[in-house]
Amino acid sequence: MQIVIDIPDEQFITLNAKTQKEVISVIDHKLLISAIQNGIPLPKGHGDLIDRDNIEIYITKEFKGKLTENEADLFVQFTNVTDEIPAVIEADK
């Protein structure tokens, strides 16, 4: 199972700065258990998790001025559809 968890930046930095033995003594067990319990399980067979905004930026940059009128219309339809797809993980705003 793959799960996305949210923990405070300080805890993440602390865990990454320690050896495995040191982690056992400094880890906030309640925080970790809570993070796992409140984590978001990713659906089996999920695709790549990507940033919708980056898709639009990439396509706009890559194809600006190169699209026919029909292709430009298709791009607008594509971005409208991607906005309607429910997010597995909400954007960090």
Q: Domain ranges in the chain?
A: 3-41, 52-84
The pLDDT value given to residue 69: 80
Q: Which structure tokens are listed for 54?
A: 């980056």
Mean per-residue pLDDT for 73-87? 79
Amino acid letter for position 47: G
Question: Is the pLDDT reported for residue 86 higher than 80?
Answer: no
Q: Which structure tokens are listed for 90?
A: 């909400």
List pLDDT tens digits, range 30-65: 888 999 999 999 888 888 888 888 887 887 787 777
Cα–Cα distances in angstroms (integers) from residue 32 to residues 13, 20, 44, 67, 86, in the given order: 14, 15, 23, 49, 27
Spatial separation of the C-alpha atoms in residues 37 and 77, rounded to whole Å: 38
